[in-house]
Amino acid sequence: MWIERLDASHALAYRELMLEAYDRHPQAFTSSVRERAAMPLSWWESRLTGKLDVVFGAFEAGRLAGIVGLAFEPREKARHKTTLFGMYVSAEFRQHGLGRQLVQAALAEAQTHPTLKVIQLTVTAGNDPAFNLYQRCGFIQFGLEPLAVRVGEDYFDKIHMWREL
């Protein structure tokens, strides 16, 4: 297993894994499989090559098995913050430490940016494995957003977490 920063050459695999994530865990993401499946490949490529996002992938036997991203703030007064997003490990690769390694890769990247002071994220309330992973990586809960995501007729709260760099 290895982790590397994704680039445009990974766009198809990234798209496939994210669509799997949106489909299997719709309550965990604010985007839907329907809206993201409609995006052209160029949109996925730009997500991997833009100046404001960095995406890492965990590979197992040459296959993209997990992903995580960092979104950097473009606004001057918020440039000290970054947001961890799109964390997902395919079900067949869970329980092997990939999630922790992906979060650690994101933290290591954030620490290379000397102006960053805070990394934040949201996790769906009730997703205890993800919440516990983030806690083990030093994140602290600071709020709860009620009714943050609607899937069909169901609403899900989001826990807001942060970590000082």
The pLDDT of residue 50 is 85
Report the CATH superfamily, name and number, of domain 2-164: Gcn5-related N-acetyltransferase (GNAT) (3.40.630.30)
**DSSP string covering 59-90:** EETTEEEEEEEEEE--SGGGTTEEEEEEEEE-
Q: 78-103 pLDDT, tens per residue? A: 999 999 999 999 999 998 899 999 99
For residue 51, the model assigns a pLDDT of 87
Q: Could you give the CA distance from residue 14 to residue 130 in angstroms, rounded to a whole number?
A: 20
Q: pLDDT over 70 for what percent of the chain?
A: 100
- pTM for the model: 0.94
Q: Which residues contact 109 (CB under 8 A, 6 or more apart)?
A: 5, 54, 56, 70
> Mean of the pLDDT values across residues 36-50?
95
The domains of the chain are located at 2-164
Under 8 Å between Cβ of 79 and 72: yes
- Average pLDDT of every residue of the chain: 96
What are the pLDDT digits (tens) for 138-159?
999 999 999 999 999 999 999 9
